[in-house]
Amino acid sequence: MTEDTALQAAQAPIPAERLTIVPANEASWDDLAAIFGRDAGRCQCQRFKVVGWIWRDSTQEGRTAMLQAQTACGDPDAVATSGMVAYVDDQPAGWVAVEPRTAYPKLRTSRVPWAGRSEDKDDDGIWAVTCFVVRKGYRGRGLTYPLALATIDFARERGARALEAYPMITQPGKEIIWGETHVGTRQVFEEAGFREVSHPTVRRVVMRIDFGQQDDPGPGAV
């Protein structure tokens, strides 16, 4: 294999047969830590969890402990977990956070989920996808698409009546840095079968699937 061929292979979309996505409690904590690395390691997926300002009102050690408790990594019999882990050829490669919307205190005070909508903020039957993390070496290969799709059955099987996301809109000619798209992009959720229900800011939309009201169960259905 030439150097150019090897580079193309490393940048190509990941085939489905090489990909496995499991609830985080079925993954090890070491695997999840490898995915987060240094880039996402500071937040530890607590942006929507910490009440108050994340850096002022919490510590790195505290956020790490919170994530470990929320995921229940290494405990396949855990009652609940806070996301899913993707493996490529048995190597930990990606993470997606998905839980009841009520599990994210910061969403209650954010303008994005509620602008132009009147909903019960305490309805734990509505779930939310809030974060993606893709490990270095696997980025730019479309891994967020199967992760977004996997959240549909994950939430529905755990009793969700609907599943929401709050992705960014990518615009031609406008650069968006990797950290900005931790919430996902509109195209990712469109391809998974979510529909846009509101457009609260220029660069942010609310996407949703209502399980009990769908005539077509969508691409995530069993």
The CA-based angle 148-131-11, given to 5 degrees, is 65
| Tens of pLDDT, residues 2-16 | 444 444 455 788 999
CATH of the domain at 208: 3.40.630.30
Judge whether 14 lies within some domain. no
Closest by CA to 62, choosing from 52, 6, 96, 129, is 52
Report d(CA 218, CA 110) in Å as an integer: 29
Rounded to two decimals, the pTM is: 0.87
Cβ–Cβ < 8 Å for 151, 129: yes
Q: 203 lies in which domain range? A: 20-213
Judge whether 12 lies within some domain. no
Q: Low-confidence residues of the chain, pLDDT below 70?
A: 1-10, 172-180, 213-222
- Cα dist from 109 to 51, 106, 117, 214, whole Å: 10, 6, 14, 29
Q: In total, how many domains does the chain have?
A: 1
| Tens of pLDDT, residues 49-73 | 998 877 788 999 999 999 999 999 9
Structure tokens at 75: 């405990």
Judge whether 76 lies within some domain. yes
Question: Looking at residue 4, what is its pLDDT?
Answer: 41
Cβ–Cβ < 8 Å for 187, 119: no
